[in-house]
Amino acid sequence: MGTKFSAAVITLFLSSLLLQQAFSESNDGIVRIGLKKFKLDENNRIPVQITTQILDSQNADGIVKLTNFMDMQYYGEISIGTPPQKFTVQFDTGSSNLWIPSSRRCYLSRWCFYVPRSRTYKKNKYDARRSRTYKKNGTSAEIHYDSGSIAGRFSQDNILVGGLTIKNQDFIEATRVSRSIFKFAKFDGILGLGFRELTDYGVVPIWYNMMNQGLIRNPVFSFWLNRNAKEVEGGELVFGEIDPKHHKGSHTYVPVTHKPYWQFDMSNVSINGQSIGVCRSGCSAIADSGTSLLAGPTTAITMLNHEIGVKGVVSHECKSIVKEYGQTILKMLLEEAKKICSLNGLCPVNGTKRIEKNSNRITSHVFSIGMCDTCEMIVVWMESRLVKKQTKNDILNYVNKLCDSLPRPYQASTVNCSQISSMPIVSFLIGGRKFSLSSKECIWKMGEGAAEECKSGFISLDDNFNLPPYKPFWILGDIFMVRYHTVFDFGRSRIGFADAAG
């Protein structure tokens, strides 16, 4: 749930699976945090714990066993203070702050921490008065996400994560949380694992203090998220080493290109081995454990969803452009004309609006952002068909179909569950290696039997286009990280992916 990226995604998909984890430190120098799962209550979309069994001390992994429904959201347990107060947090590589609900009184009712009226659903709250190691900070704090905000004050205390005690760690006691952010969340708070540049108020993130206090062997951590929905074990977050039992084969590493996020370059996106043409000038991506699904530009997500049979929103604006200007755009593409949408007056030229009176161009349209974005999508769609040497009519028909199925922003689209086996393979070219997701791995299933519902694992997030380096941007969330074991190598400023162990 990155401060800039994944809050909206998290909010929408917290009603999917949530996981609980327990932790232990083994004698091999590796710190393991076991990730476990919760089942979704289909009646009210609130994640509920089905069964909880506390393992005895003889279990080396120290994992809390939970009933498994599906792999969508993952979280684990930490402790704060002396004696320890336990909390569940989401370990989020898309943010860097740690915040926990506070027991301090909240005075503004519309901002108070929201707790549904259910005995099985409550938040643990930090009580500074109960901790002997608490130290007052008092600095006011407020963090804004796409879907709301949290506010409170910084405090300092000892924090236990994976058997490691981080001393004098600053964190936020949240006294105000927007109702929209964690209305359906099972976990208590967020523990960010992003870079220090992403933190607010100059606070040293907990991950940095693990390294500064000499608590881990190597400056690296990795996620293994279990993709076998029949098993109760949800995965592990490992600090300080890479556990070989969590992956098959070697990792492909790519450098971090732009902080403060774990951001890297991606060369191509393809469907059944055929490029969809959205990364001609390169793409950027982040690996984000705080995002449930896989997000990308609407241009690409529309193409992917079309191939897996999604029926999205009909865009009359899109269809009108294709009907009125489709032939002209296609002709210009065939003639290898540049800046097609600007030349036709659909996009600004040098930051100004433009109306053309040339008979070969649009004669009466005034530029608008919506028309410009739509036109640029249409150009990409047409280019993807031209490389396949399709006829003019086939290309126009294809684009018209895409206009009928644009995704709703921030929402997962419904697909036909019976067609999963015939859906295509989607691949991402990272570091010269193709990372593929099968149709089953791209779909999110809910319910069983007659109540079964399937959702596309792809959602559109065009508001990320304004981030450096200003090229098509992707968020590879849990759906991708379940398939590929992910290493966050802070020491070498790189990210690695390998096939996850089954």
* Catalytic (active-site) positions: 92, 288
Of 434, 433, 478, 486, the C-alpha closest to 459 is 478
Of 182, 236, 296, the C-alpha closest to 487 is 236
- State the Cα–Cα distance between residues 380 and 378, nearest whole angstrom: 5
Query: Where would I find the H helices in 82-224?
Result: 206-212
Q: Return the number of other C-beta atoms located less than 10 Å from residue 275's C-beta.
A: 16
Residues 312/408, Cβ–Cβ less than 8 Å: yes
What is the torsional sign of CA 360, 363, 367, 373?
Answer: negative
Six-digit token string for 438: 């099968």
The helix/strand count (H/E) of the chain reads as: 9, 30
Query: Which H or E element spans position 318?
Result: helix 316-334
Six-digit token string for 283: 């793409």
Q: Return the number of other C-beta atoms located less than 10 Å from residue 376's C-beta.
A: 16
Q: Which residues, listed in sequence order, are joined to residue 428 by a DSSP beta bridge?
A: 269, 435
Of 281, 350, 332, 271, the C-alpha closest to 306 is 271
Position 300, amino acid: A
Six-digit token string for 475: 């968020």
Residues 189/92, Cβ–Cβ less than 8 Å: no
Residue with tokens 């039992």: 245
What backbone torsions phi and psi does residue 376 show, to the nearest 5 degrees?
A: -65, -35
Residues 479/10, Cβ–Cβ less than 8 Å: no
Six-digit token string for 203: 């606070």
The contacts of residue 450 (CB under 8 Å, 6+ apart) are none
CA dihedral 23, 25, 30, 34 (to 10 degrees): -20
CA dihedral 307, 313, 318, 322 (to 10 degrees): 50
End-to-end CA, the chain: 26
Residues 425/443, Cβ–Cβ less than 8 Å: no
Local structure of 111: helix, strand or coil: helix
Residue with tokens 């294709």: 322
Residues 161/210, Cβ–Cβ less than 8 Å: yes
